[in-house]
């Protein structure tokens, strides 16, 4: 029998306004589609959105910011970055694979400093200032990272990460079974009460079952990048619909303000989201 804590996890993210299923048309404007972000004409390695609508973009030789007015500014000269994690104070964490380390870029500076050595995550989710969850390539476990240290907090399987708005529930996309796990975040950063109440649409035979990326918006709606498209769920984990992948290929996603971005095959695409009163 499941524990009471496990059974109530779905209710944590379920405000009364979502008592009924949410149609995709209340999340994505009707007749909208992916549009390529033409301001970026170089290969994109990683993306991360900010609440102010700007998006951080890792190119091969630098990290830049594209704001809502389409103005581009340089953020850091760090090269080869594979994942970006904005912190609440405006500073950034950058995952650098060779050598494997996480860099920290303080607000207002472009020179990165080493935050933690020995790991290069492909996914990161901010828990609190100077503390975040990380998933490593070719490793199904989940790690908690702090200054100059990291430790395993869950055996997985995990290929992508996202926290809800309260940062009390961690979502983990699985590696081979097209599932999304939910885990309760304890006060010490450990994880427990793994459950699978978010149920993605399964991939057809022969297609990848990897959940490439996960994001949660300010209304706790869940977005999962998969081989069949970006799957969108309401806060209780019910599937609202599936957005066809741009370029027909799975990618990495982020949310900046009221825009959903998808990085697919090195190219950046966007489409609007709805946050109005339903």
Whether 117 maps to a domain, the answer reads yes
Smallest CA-to-CA distance from 92 within 135, 60, 58, 59 is with 58
Q: Are 119 and 150 in contact (CB under 8 A)?
A: yes
Query: Of how many residues is the chain composed?
Result: 278
Whether 19 maps to a domain, the answer reads no
Rg (CA), the chain: 18
Predicted structure pTM score:
0.90
Whole-number average pLDDT of the chain: 90
Whether 101 maps to a domain, the answer reads yes
Question: Which letter does DSSP use for residue 24 in this model?
Answer: G
Alpha carbon distance 157, 186 (integer Å): 19
Q: How far is CA 180 from CA 24, 206, 237, 246, in A?
A: 19, 20, 9, 22
Q: For a pLDDT cut of 90, what percent of the chain falls above it?
A: 77
Q: Which structural domain range is residue 52 located in?
A: 32-272
Whether 24 maps to a domain, the answer reads no
207 pLDDT band, cuts 50/70/90, is: confident
Whether 15 maps to a domain, the answer reads no
Alpha carbon distance 218, 228 (integer Å): 24
The residue behind tokens 């996309």 is: 173
Question: Which letter does DSSP use for residue 166 in this model?
Answer: T
Alpha carbon distance 190, 44 (integer Å): 33
Whether 10 maps to a domain, the answer reads no
Looking at the structure of the chain, the number of domains it has is 1
Whether 7 maps to a domain, the answer reads no
Whether 23 maps to a domain, the answer reads no
**Does the structure show a pLDDT above 90 at 109?**
no
- Which CATH number characterizes residue 58's domain? 2.120.10.30
Read off the pLDDT of residues 245-269 as tens digits, 9 standing for 90 and up: 998 888 999 999 999 999 999 999 9
């Amino acid at each position: 029998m499941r524990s009471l804590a496990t059974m109530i996890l779905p209710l944590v993210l379920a405000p009364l306004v979502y008592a009924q299923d949410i149609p995709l048309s209340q999340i994505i404007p009707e007749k909208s589609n992916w549009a390529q972000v033409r301001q970026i004409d170089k290969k994109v390695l990683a993306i991360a959105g900010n609440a102010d609508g700007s998006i951080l973009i890792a190119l091969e030789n630098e990290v830049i910011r594209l704001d809502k007015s389409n103005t581009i500014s340089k953020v850091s000269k760090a090269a080869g970055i594979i994942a970006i994690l904005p912190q609440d104070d405006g500073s950034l964490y950058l995952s650098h694979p060779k050598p494997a380390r996480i860099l920290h870029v303080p607000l207002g500076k472009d020179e990165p400093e080493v935050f933690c050595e020995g790991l290069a995550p492909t996914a990161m989710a901010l828990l609190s200032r100077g503390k975040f969850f990380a998933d490593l390539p070719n490793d199904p476990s989940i790690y908690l990272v702090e200054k100059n240290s990291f430790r395993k907090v869950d055996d997985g399987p995990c290929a992508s990460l996202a926290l809800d708005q309260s940062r009390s529930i961690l979502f983990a996309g699985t590696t081979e079974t097209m599932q999304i796990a939910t885990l309760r975040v304890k006060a010490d950063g450990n994880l427990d009460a793994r459950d699978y109440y978010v149920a993605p649409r399964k991939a057809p035979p022969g297609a990848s079952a990897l959940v490439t990326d996960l994001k949660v918006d300010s209304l706790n709606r869940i977005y999962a990048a998969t081989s069949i498209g970006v799957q969108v769920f309401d806060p209780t984990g019910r599937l609202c619909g599936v957005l066809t992948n741009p370029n027909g290929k799975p990618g990495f996603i982020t949310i900046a303000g009221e825009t959903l971005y998808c990085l697919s095959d090195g190219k950046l695409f966007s489409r609007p989201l709805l946050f109005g009163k339903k």
